[in-house]
Amino acid sequence: MLVIVAPGQGAQTPGFLTPWLEDPTFASRMHWLSTVAGVDLIHHGTESDADTIRETQIAQPLLVATGLVAALELFPHPADAFSTIGAVAGHSVGEIAAAAGARVITAEQAMVLVRERGKAMADAAAATPTGMTAVLGGDRDEVLAALEKHGLTPANDNGPGQVVAAGTVEQLEAFAADGPAKARLVPLSVAGAFHTEHMAPAVGHLASLARSVSVHDARIPVISNRDGTVVHEGRDVLARLVGQIANPVRWDLCLETMSDLGVTGILEMPPAGTLTGIAKRALKGVETFALKTPDQLDDARAFVQKHGEASPFDTTPTWRMVVSPAKGTFHQAEDAAGADLLAPGAAIGDVANRRERHRIVAQHGGQVVEWLVEDGDLVSPGQPLLRLHPEGAA
């Protein structure tokens, strides 16, 4: 199985876009997305210095646009991706690129959302002096206890030995003077405490915009930053993108889900390297490919061919499917078991594992065509559970 991942803020480096722009089609597409975002992404990806492209309102649109246009270079015929990619995921703002790649939102919608996200997060960061510090190594329980002691949030949990602490400048200074044993603290050059309560004003702004965004159900399973679950319903994907701004990125749980899915290859979109580096340490035996420059495209396509397999989602537009968000045991709801028609939001059961229990609903409802699992079956993340025909559809 192949998983495509998109990096988050901090992956960008000065001039990283230069070799990609030698392709006139790539350059034309970047110019279009620059126009949509109202930001000169070509200039910032080639000429701007590190301090400039570190600014939230510049870095975020630049990363999303690069991922989206590079995906079209990798898959010149986008439909080919749907028969090849097993799942997509994005770290922090990379999740917007992942959602667009899964066709939940369009590229243009993605650019408007990321433009407003970047501006709103920059404004929220300016309200209170805050920051972030990477905590490398140390005992996990001791690290989390130290964060709690100083009132800090584990804003990014990236897997074994990689947690990012976020909070006020005073809290981070106290943490630096009284940190966990055997851990190395690295202050990050970011504008504020992202993925914490300090970003709440940005959530409100983006939520108001999201109400007017039309969405589609994902054509490729989307692994959510919030809790590592596989998300299929378009409105749920969008809601998670909005809420994620003020909530921790649980990349560790995303990695667990990739393992549950049986991933054999992870390809990271440019500017690549960060997420494949984490995967090498956390998912032993899984091959990785960091797509950094266009001269790697042929090798990247060979990597895709080696690991690719069709998405489990049936993308025929006349059907809807309800899928499992996680690995576990499926328990069918009694009311749904014999029903021929399910109302929107009707519960069909739950999926339980050792960590938690996920309630499953038929978000849109519809006529029951076929149950694809039985009560008590073990299921995988993204596995189809129920096929529905929209009520009233021809």
| Helix (H/G/I), strand (E/B), else coil: 334 | helix
Task: Give the bridge partners for 134, in sequence order.
Answer: 164, 186
The rounded distance, in Å, linking the Cα atoms of 326 and 345 is 19
In whole angstroms, what is the distance from residue 173 CA to residue 187 CA? Answer: 10
The active-site residue, picked from 150, 195, 198, 364, is: 195
Strand partners, 157: 163
Q: Is the dihedral of CA 235, 237, 243, 245 positive or negative?
A: negative
The answer to whether 207 and 242 have CB atoms below 8 angstroms apart is: yes
Closest CA to 368 of 391, 345, 394, 393: 391
DSSP string over 160-183? TTEEEEEEEHHHHHHHHHS--TTE
- Residue 97: HSE in the Cβ half-sphere, 13 Å Cα cutoff: 30
Crossing angle of helices 24-37 and 107-127, rounded to 10°: 50
- Alpha-carbon torsion (247, 252, 256, 261), positive or negative: positive
Q: How far apart are CA 76 and CA 79, in angstroms?
A: 9
The per-residue DSSP string of 66-132 comes to HHHHHHHHH-SSTHHHHTT-SEEEESTTHHHHHHHHTTSS-HHHHHHHHHHHHHHHHHHHHHS-EEE
* Short-list 255, 226, 218, 243, CA closest to 101: 218
C-alpha dihedral (124, 125, 129, 133), degrees to nearest 10: 140
Q: Is 92 a catalytic residue?
A: yes
Catalytic-labelled residue, pool 34, 92, 311, 324: 92
Structure tokens at 337: 């078991």
Active site residues: 92, 195
